[in-house]
A and B are shown apart, each in its own frame.
Chain A
Amino acid sequence: MALSKKTLALLAATTLGFGLVACSDSGDTGASGGGSGSDNYVLANGTEPQNPLIPSNTNEVGGGRIVDMIYSGLVYYDADGEIHNEMAESIEPEGEKSYRVTLKDGWTFADGTEVTAQHFVDTWNHAVANSHLSAYFFEPILGYEEGAESMEGLQVVDDKTFTIELNQPEADFPMRLGYSAFYPLPDEAREDESGFGEKPNGNGPYKLLEWNHNQDATIVPNENYQGERTPQNDGIKFVFYAQQDAAYNDLLAGNLDVLDSIPDSAFATFENELGDRAANQASAIFQSFTIPERVEHWGGEEGKLRRQAISHAINRAEVTEAIFQGTRTPATDFTSPVLPGYDGDIVGNDVLDYDPEKAKDLWAQADEISPFTGEFTLSYNADGGHQAWVDAVVNSIRNTLGIEAVGNPYPDFKSLRDDVTGRTIEGAFRTGWQADYPSQGNFLGPLYGTGAGSNDGDYSNPDFDAKLAEAAAAETPEDASRIYNEAQEILFQDLPAIPLWYSNLTGGSSEHVENVVFSWKDQPLYYNITKN
């Protein structure tokens, strides 16, 4: 065809033209996004929040770290997990299971609207009525039911006062009030959740300046903030990284100021490379594996002996050193060393010591009850970097006890959890727990209480349940801790989960910033950071 060459030229030109338009378009947005570099923001790593920034509907760390900075609750936790009043003037117990909450004067949302007791009650009811992801935090409140429109345990007395009545006494309930699910929201949030979540109006130390999805979010000090978490910087820019390696390289090059998770590839070297700007400390993340009692050979007295044998067969110190380069801390209890009330010398925790002789002995005793058949499997999700330690642990078990032990990978976390919650999983499986609020009870009740939500092994021991109830009714947090530690003595006998180690917080900061303190929650206290 005679036309062909002209047509082609036209076609080529158009294609090129489109390409150029696309390029120049994105070039513009790129420039405006990066234009804020002139401000002296602290550059911190982050990940794209998975939900609009509604506190009770945020259950992952990417959104959580922003939510904690742009909202305030009744109380807040300091770096050590100690509790301080934030919006609450006082939280007075009235009787065993009621509290009277009085708010401080002068608190407003970022737009100047006064925060009242009604805001708290409405927000909490709204979270339950709409089945938000963190709605289970309201379970203890009288009248809670999945999807309930309003809970009768919440009563507004006046603008500054409301009362909370619980179903049963729970000593650590006031401690939970610093968790994000309990943050108050203004009325407009309940009318248009996703719109509000994009442009939140909170009462926290910071307010959201801009949020470029999948790229970054910037928060700047909120001049209406009334609390003690006073920002010491001009703002925080959270840069979202899909891979920690990229973030780490940016930290080394000085393009990132604070990193709260060092990539595996740098575990061996980061403390040398960062010097005294590196952080490596135990955190409130507990790792274990669970062997349900329903599995053949793992029930009753036989199962108890076998669990103890398995526990003695694992060399935790060696695995944490060899596999994790010292970025895990061998477990000494079922909670975490960063929590108030932690005791590293609970009676019976020697079951966590590596002792091959004792392991063989206990295993032989169990074999006398009923000889072991089949193989020991440890299931894990292959997308979480667990293979190395699982292999090390099953090797250790195989070599010590002389049984067939293998790791059983699932393609991803969700397929593992499906089989766990469906109770169709065979053998042992990986379990873990991260604290929502700094209380030992949070590590014990939800995991090992009879019928509790995350009791994946269906553990049930009336003595332990009694201790939980006793601790919940304790007069002071110190008493509660003492009882929780007694309850753990029972767990060390039964081993409903085999404790492995605590994940360490591994982090670092650049030379542009000072006062980077990592809290019990693994995150820097962003408001304390100063940038020069």
Chain B
Amino acid sequence: MLRYIGRRLLQMIPVFFGATLLIYALVFLMPGDPVQALGGDRGLSEAARARIEAEYNLDKPFIVQYLLYLKGILTLDFGTTFSGQPVADVMARAFPVTIKLAVMALVFEAFFGIIFGVIAGVRRGGIFDSTVLVMSLIVIAVPSFVIGFVLQFLVGVKWGILPVTVGSRETFTALLMPAVVLGAVSFAYVLRLTRQSVSENLRADYVRTARAKGLSGGQVMSRHVLRNSLIPVATFLGADLGALMGGAIVTEGIFAINGVGGTIYQAIIKGEPTTVVSFTTVLVIVYIVANLVVDLIYAVLDPRIRYA
């Protein structure tokens, strides 16, 4: 088990180098000239261009730029943005709020998704099941920014129940609405996944056996059905954590959250390799760790799975 974890963690090293190189190359290959854009409509003088290029190593060949960046990272210096802020500071500001938002969204979608899914799965074909299925279909079909804008306008502007935007007030109440919007689509998927696998597992042989052994309904549910049903759900949630962190651009924009997605988006627009690479590398690591945790959870859920 420990050896397995160690091996998985060691795999992160080549992934780290591969990801940084690839992303750095992609930013480098992006059309246009990031320095030119700093001059705005008027453009830059040659001297100002030379000063900025030297400052950010943009005058050097690609591989030298990349190695300089790597050298910085190894000394925990992630470089600076074009506005002169250390990327490490930007990350320290963006990640906490995004982690908070992603965790809230994840808890929301997991909690309600699994509960609703189990009820729907157990009472398959009932009124609750049909209602929930239709509702989840609507949530999946409607783009999340529509849900975001409508909720923001109704709950925030019209009724004044929750704050309209987050900004610097990163409180639980302020993040509640964005988290629901962010988790809405995944909530629908979790619900449908759970419902499907619960209703399938209920008809499995081992459930019949467990009942025949004399186990109560609740015990059958929690020890046998739920455990087996949660494997696909756990897989989905693990992959979703990364998506929630890096892919919240739309939600972050609507609710003025200064998080990871928006920062990466802005950095791509500006062609700022240091920021893009640092942020995406952290996200890659989050993905890897989340997947590792999911794999370990398999072992808890399903005793047949063993790691060595």
* Residue positions of A touching B, CB distance < 8 A: 1, 3-5, 7-8, 11-12, 15, 19, 22-23, 25-27, 29-31, 33-34, 48-52, 59-60, 130-133, 135-136, 146-147, 194, 197, 212-216, 239-243, 245-247, 249-250, 252-253, 255, 383, 410-415, 417-418, 421, 432-434, 446, 453-454
Contacts and interface: CB of A to CB of B under 8 A. Distances in A.
Given A27-B171, A34-B168, A418-B32, A133 B44 contact: yes
Residue in A4, A30, A130, A454 whose Cβ sees the most chain B Cβ within 10 Å: A30
Nearest to B160: A253
A243 B58 CA distance: 29
Given A136-B45, A215-B168, A242-B256, A1 B1 contact: yes
A212 B168 contact: yes
Given A26-B100, A242-B252, A11 B47 contact: no
B62 interface: no
A505 B46 CA distance: 33
Contact of B39 (A133, A239, A383, A446): A133
A136 B169 CA distance: 41
B47 A135 contact: yes
A49 B308 CA distance: 53
Contacts of A5: 300
Given A135-B45, A213-B89, 14 more contacts: A1-B308, A11-B296, A27-B171, A59-B40, A147-B47, A214-B263, A241-B256, A242-B252, A242-B258, A249-B165, A250-B165, A415-B33, A434-B41, A454-B43
A12 B294 CA distance: 11
Nearest to B43: A421
B131 interface: no
Interface in B38-71: 38-48, 50-51
A215 B156 contact: no
B299 interface: yes
B247 interface: no
Nearest to A60: B40
Contacts of A414: 32-34, 36-37, 271
Contacts, number: 188
Interface string B115-131: 00000000000000000
A432 B41 contact: yes
Interface string B142-159: 000000010011001100
Nearest to A420: B43
B217 interface: no
A98 B173 CA distance: 62
B254 A243 contact: yes
A4 B306 CA distance: 9
Contacts of B47: 131, 135, 146-147
Contacts of B279: none
B82 interface: yes
30 contacts: A4-B306, A15-B293, A30-B97, A48-B83, A51-B83, A131-B45, A133-B44, A136-B45, A146-B45, A194-B84, A197-B84, A212-B168, A213-B85, A243-B254, A245-B254, A246-B164, A246-B253, A246-B255, A249-B153, A252-B164, A253-B157, A253-B160, A253-B164, A255-B164, A412-B37, A412-B269, A414-B32, A414-B34, A418-B33, A421-B43
Contacts of A51: 83-84
Q: List 10 tightest A-B contacts by C-beta distance, closest first.
A: A26-B96, A30-B170, A414-B32, A415-B32, A414-B37, A146-B47, A131-B47, A246-B256, A33-B168, A131-B48
Nearest to B2: A7
A267 to B, nearest CB: 16
Contacts of A242: 252-253, 256, 258, 262, 266
A22 B46 contact: no
Contacts of B255: 246
B99 interface: yes
Given A131-B51, A253-B156, A255-B164, A213 B256 contact: no
B85 A7 contact: no
Contact of B167 (A29, A215, A415, A454): A215
A369 to B, nearest CB: 34
Contact of B31 (A52, A133, A415): A415
Interface in B252-306: 252-256, 258, 262-263, 266, 269, 271, 293, 296-297, 299-300, 306
B256 A250 contact: yes
Contact of B164 (A22, A30, A250, A412): A250
A66 B47 CA distance: 26
A182 to B, nearest CB: 17
Nearest to B266: A242
Contact of A50 (B48, B83, B99, B293): B83
Contact of B38 (A31, A33, A133, A214): A133
Contacts of A255: 163-165
Contacts of A432: 41
Contacts of B152: 249
B208 interface: no
A131 to B, nearest CB: 4
Residue in B41, B306, B308 whose Cβ sees the most chain A Cβ within 10 Å: B41
Contacts of A23: 96, 99-100, 103
B27 interface: no
A1 to B, nearest CB: 4
B93 interface: yes
Contacts of A52: 83-84
Nearest to B271: A414
Given A133-B48, A249-B156, A414-B34, A8 B300 contact: yes
A417 B38 CA distance: 11
Nearest to A421: B43
A107 to B, nearest CB: 28
B218 to A, nearest CB: 22
Given A131-B48, A454-B43, A216 B168 contact: yes
Residue in B46, B160, B165, B307 whose Cβ sees the most chain A Cβ within 10 Å: B165
Contacts of B307: 1, 4
A4 B295 CA distance: 12
Contact of A146 (B2, B46, B83, B169): B46
B133 interface: no
Interface string B162-206: 011101111100000000000000000000000000000000000
Contacts of A135: 45, 47-48
B90 interface: yes
A26 B171 CA distance: 9
A7 B6 CA distance: 13
Given A23-B100, A214-B258, A246-B256, A7 B1 contact: yes
B84 A216 contact: no
A34 B169 contact: yes
Contacts of A4: 1, 299, 306-307
B214 to A, nearest CB: 26
Contacts of A12: 293
B124 to A, nearest CB: 32
Residue in B44, B46, B263 whose Cβ sees the most chain A Cβ within 10 Å: B44
B162 to A, nearest CB: 10
Contacts of A454: 41-43
A60 B38 CA distance: 9
Nearest to A30: B170
A421 B39 CA distance: 12
B108 to A, nearest CB: 15
A149 to B, nearest CB: 12
A34 B149 CA distance: 24
Contacts of B165: 241, 246, 249-250, 255
Given A1-B1, A11-B293, A131-B45, A215 B103 contact: no
